[in-house]
Structure 1
Amino acid sequence: MEQTSIPGLPFPASRIALGTWAIGGWMWGGTDEKDAIATIHRALDLGINLVDTAPVYGFGQSEEIVGRALEGRRDEVLIATKVGLDWSEGRPRRNSRPERLRHELDDSLHRLRTDVIDIYQVHWPDEATAFEVTAETLDAFRRDGKIRAIGVSNFDVAQMDRFRKVAPIATVQPPYNLFERGAEDDVLPYAKAHGIVALTYGALCRGLLSGKIAADTTFEGDDLRNVDPKFQPDRRGAYLAAVARLDALAREKFGKSVLALAVRWILDQGDTIALWGARRPSQLDPVPDVMGWHIDAATMAEIDRILGETIAEPLGPEFMAPPRTTAT
């Protein structure tokens, strides 16, 4: 397992991290706790030592499961969780007021069954609270020893600039995959220039790049793919055509699947970590296929050509964002 160093952490982090949004069940059609715990244990056995979660994932369910799964193994694992989404009034809304952050920190420490969080990330920027105030609050948590490093998620460059004037940012978490590449324009170059590790999410684009989605695949319950524009009939065909061509390329060049190609592509972009979402142990079986090889420049160019020929109007992940707040 490849690793990278993150400032403030006691040991290097694996460059594949386990993403646990689906484990929480919310917006993924429910969850099975037994499978979820087995999935976390399988990740650790594969050398994944960074687990990413959030209070809003299942409204506490994901953090609870992570806490139970890591009992007895906490010292070998880095926990990244998030803060700043308030669901007390129903639909999650951005809220980074200091009192909210303090309340969430206590709740997360309790659910995770730990006395320190390794990476504490602001989940979405809350423009109703000055970024400087948010930064100072999190830096106080760090100085008090309740968190080890500060991260931000879904922040743009200007927001990170304001935040960094008050507190150090160790990680930034943008959406990033073969189909959603907006972070290349600004966030990733900024992270590289300032020594910030990019903990990217959506590596398989909600499963599109797994190679297992078909034109007639359906999703149950509150699964967010029922409202994801990429999965709708007028768009899905183009994305599946791209997946088919990328899969053929991966097999011809490297003897790998499109899934392995998609994750390797992220790792080959620089000092990046790819979040790998899973809720069943078998979904982690391809992890070893990503290690020990690289994509050459000619194949990188061929990937870009395939995407340009198949996806005429690329779509981002904006549909997932909670409503913005108004700056004060």
Structure 2
Amino acid sequence: MRTIHAALDLGINLIDTAPAYGFGHSEEVVGRAIAEYGGRDRVVISTKGGLERRGDKLFRNSRRDVIRTEVENSLARLRTDYIDLYFVHWPDLDTPYEETAAALGALQKAGKIRGVAVSNYSIAAMERFHAITPLSAAQPPLNVFEREALRDIIPWCRERGIGTLTYGALCRGLLTGTIDESTKFDGDDLRKVDPKLVAPRVSQYTAAVRELEAYARQRYQRGIIPLAIRWTIDQPGVSVALWGARHPSELSPVIDVMGWHLDDEALSAIDRMLSSTIRDPVGPEFMAPPERASGADAKIPAAPI
């Protein structure tokens, strides 16, 4: 609550959440925080659907009836009568994209959602979706180390006037400068399987982080977090760079992000640093989507097309 209020005080006006974050708890906290703060019309709420909870697991399910139910549940948890941006969290390979798009288009016409969007979709999937219900935004991963979206998703969106809310600006904490080769991750932390954070690549990536940090201090008198976020925001076609905070103190870099830009010399210097330190680069492909359940027990894991 305090973190959300602090973000709003700083002028941040978009909050991205999802039922999958804490099985609805995140949406409840966001809804309560905005209600207590006041000024709903000054906050852009972005949330997601298409992941169905079964016990303590999530499965991709973007059928028409499921989407309708999820939107109503999100509206209740968020304490609002409309959602500014509603994303399909992951593509559901068992449900036609056209069915999901039509369902969201109907909810948009009813005033329940204002903008229809997708996350982790390929261009082929977005084209089918967009033909039925025009997309307002897409949400691909993007950061200094993971640039795949700059080659396809972001240019495609830019050509069509579709916004991009990129996630992972700090590469799951790697670009904060707080992770080194001795860092261990507990439980089901996704970073345990991130190839960038295990041998042999972890030493390459942490070396790159140290060089980036030194460059940010020397050239801009700023830390690596503002540099990493600024890099993402300054990419052509990027509308928003999302990153998370759990405590008000983690929002302090926001001030250092605004009011400046990386010039061509800086962008080239960053590229050279990465080329000299990272011998075996790897993207975000390891982030497998939740499984898709067909029937009571069937599980069909698959990467998004």
TM-score using structure 2 length: 0.91
Residue 302 of structure 1 corresponds to which residue in structure 2?
A: 269
Aligned match of 1:212 in 168, 171, 178? Answer: 178
Which of these residues, 255, 265, 270, is aligned with residue 288 of structure 1?
A: 255
1:153 aligns with 2:153: no
> In structure 2, do the counterparts of structure 1 residues 326 and 46 end up closer, same or farther at CA, with 3 Å as the change threshold?
closer
| Alpha-carbon distance in 2 for matches of 1:281, 1:221 | 25
Amino acid at match of 1:236: V
Deviates more, 1:244-253 or 1:87-96: 87-96
1:7-18 equivalences in 2 (<5 Å): none
SS of the residue aligned with 1:295? coil
Between 175-184 and 267-276, the greater mean CA deviation after superposition: 267-276
Offset at 1:316? Answer: 1.9
1:276 paired with 2:264, answer no
Task: Please tell me whether the aligned partners of residues 18 and 27 of structure 2 are also in contact (alpha carbons under 8 angstroms).
Answer: yes
CA drift of 1:215 comes to 2.3
Shift of 1:90: 4.0
SS in 2 for 1:260: helix
Q: Among residues 196, 201, 204, which one is paired with 2:167 in the alignment?
A: 201
- The equivalent of 2:297 in structure 1 is none
**Greater Cα shift, 84-93 or 136-145:** 84-93
Unpaired stretches in structure 1, ≥5 consecutive residues: 1-36
1:266 Cα deviation (Å)?
A: 0.8
Q: Deviations over 1:273-305 (max 9, x none)?
A: 100211111111111101111111111111111
Aligned to 1:24: none
Q: Which portions of structure 1, spanning 4 or more consecutive aligned residues, are displaced by more than 4 angstroms? A: 324-327
Matched-pair contact (CA < 8 Å) for 2:288–2:303: no
| Structure 2 match to 1:65 | 29
Report the Cα offset of residue 138 of structure 1: 0.3
1:162 paired to 2:131: no
1:76 Cα deviation (Å)?
1.9
**% identical aligned pairs:** 54
Mapped contact 1:128–1:326 kept (Cα < 8 A): no
Distance in 2 between residues matched to 1:194 and 1:321, nearest whole Å? 28
TM-score, normalised via structure 1 length: 0.85
Determine which of 83, 88, 94 is the counterpart of 2:60. Answer: 94
Greater Cα offset, 281-290 or 244-253? 244-253
* C-alpha distance in 2 between matches for 1:41 and 1:230: 34
Greater CA drift, 308-317 or 174-183: 308-317
User: What CA RMSD, in Å, does the superposition of the two structures yield over aligned residues?
Assistant: 1.6
Q: Is residue 2:170 matched to residue 1:175?
A: no
Aligned residues of 1:173 and 1:200 also touching (Cα < 8 A): yes
**CA–CA separation in structure 2 for the residues paired with 1:114 and 1:313:** 46
Q: Distance in 2 between matches of 1:87 and 1:310?
A: 41
1:265 and 2:231 correspond: yes
| Count of matched residue pairs | 291
2:188 aligned to which of 222, 227, 241: 222
Which AA in structure 1 matches 2:7? A
1:47 and 2:11 equivalent?
yes
Paired position in structure 2 for 1:111: 77
Q: Show CA shifts across 1:147-204 (max 9, x none).
A: 0001110011111111111111111000000011110110011011011111000000
CA contact (8 A) 1:128 1:325 kept: no
